Amino acid sequence: MALASHNEGKLVEFSGLFAPLGIEILSARELDLPEPEETGETFEANSALKAIAAATASNLPAMADDSGLSVMALGGNPGIYSARWAGPEKDFAAAMRRVEHGLQEAGNTDRSAAFVCVLSLAWPDGHIEQTRGECKGRLLWPPRGDGGFGYDPMFMPLGSTRTFGEIALEEKKNLSHRARAVAAMIAACFS
């Protein structure tokens, strides 16, 4: 199955989540697939357009996610713009500072947030399935841990005393928004 992403962190995470089913994940980079422009206004729209583009270009079933950090005190931002907040250099340290600055500017003590993942699985014939996973938590400052990727070092899932940056991948795959979206997809398409 093709993964419509050039993000190595996502490739590792999705490969581990689908490995128990014996499904091999090939990255967009391995298949030399272009990254389509994300023109949708929702996680669902962006996930679908990436999966459909990869399925069409590779002639394989293709999976894509659109995911991001939704911060309640920031009106849900960065949301679908989570990667863009990191700029063209993908500087997530700067993106985390931007989130923290926004919280400080808002003067809001609400640090609740959720990671959201919408997963789309598209087939070359045009059929598509979508699932959604969320992981609620709160934001910490300063960030802690050097594991994971993106905003993981500042996000502590509910019920934990560690950030996603401090949690090992094996443990994270049982908690994350991606794990929840994948579990729903497995139940919908592979059971």
Tokens of 77: 């931002």
Type of residue found at 98: R
Tokens of 126: 């045009």
Asked if 96 and 105 touch (Cβ cutoff 8 Å), the reply is no
Alpha-carbon distance of 78 to 99, in angstroms, equals 8
CB atoms within 10 A of CB 38: 17
Asked if 65 and 44 touch (Cβ cutoff 8 Å), the reply is no
Annotation marks residue 66 as catalytic: yes
**CA dihedral of 148, 150, 155, 160, whole degrees rounded to 10:** -20
Catalytic residue among 66, 110, 125, 146: 66
Q: What is the DSSP letter of 25?
A: -
Catalytic positions, please?
Answer: 66
